[in-house]
Amino acid sequence: MLTITIWSEIEIPQLILDKVIEALTPFISHVEVFDIDLSEVIKKFYNTVRGQVDASKLLDYLEYTYPSSGFLHKQVFVVDEDAYVKGLNYVLGVARYCGSHAIVFTPRLRQEFWNLPPSEEIFLSRLCKEIVHELGHTLCLDHCLNPRCVMRFSNSVFETDEKDYRFCNRCKLKIEHLFQRKLL
Ligand SMILES: [Zn+2]
Ligand SMILES: [Zn+2]
């Protein structure tokens, strides 16, 4: 069963944890959350010209610094900084495919970033979907064409709003098969 550790720079309400658990049932045993301040670490991977963090380098660093106890232990870092990877203007999150580590970047999930009136509800809904989406990649899932599936690729947060925080049946079946293989 999966154990998920969320390291977060912002407060994560219980509501989000409940939804993460729901999305990953029956594969999950529990979620734990810890506060973290990554501001010193982020300085090392901050591109001052772009005003963004290099997401790939930060992921490498976090993997090395916060080792996971195995494939079934996933760690998600919620970072309050904007980020990019080579070739993309920005990313909402990154994950090690079939690995254990993922990062979600929060600034662009906020309505105010797009000059819209703030909404905690919309922000938390997006945060939840991004966390589940990146966890899906750590569970070897690729992007899904089902428009409601959490694994649907979103080019922008407005596309994120159109999908659900849960996996479609096909993606859930893929996780089930993965577990059967891994637990043999
Ligand atoms: Zn993705
Ligand atoms: Zn799917």
Look over the chain and give the mean of its residue pLDDT values, rounded to a whole number.
95
Chain segment 85-119, per-residue pLDDT in tens = 999 999 999 999 999 999 999 999 999 999 999 99
User: Domain holding 165: CATH number?
Assistant: 3.40.390.10
Structure tokens at 168: 């479609």
Other C-beta atoms lying within 10 Å of the C-beta of residue 65? 8
Residues lining ligand 2 (ion), CB within 5 A?
A: 144, 146, 149, 151, 168, 171
Instruction: Tell me which H or E stretch contains 43.
Output: helix 39-44
Among 111, 106, 63, 110, residue whose Cα is nearest residue 83: 106
Please give the Cα distance from 146 to 128 (Å, whole number). 18
Please state the domain count of the chain.
1
Domain of residue 76: give its range: 2-182
pTM of the model as a whole: 0.96
The catalytic residues are: 134
Task: Give the Å distance between the CA of 28 and the centre of ligand 2.
Answer: 18
> Residues near 115 by Cβ (< 8 Å), separated by ≥ 6?
none
Among 126, 166, 141, residue whose Cα is nearest residue 25: 166
Chain segment 7-25, per-residue pLDDT in tens = 999 999 999 999 999 999 9
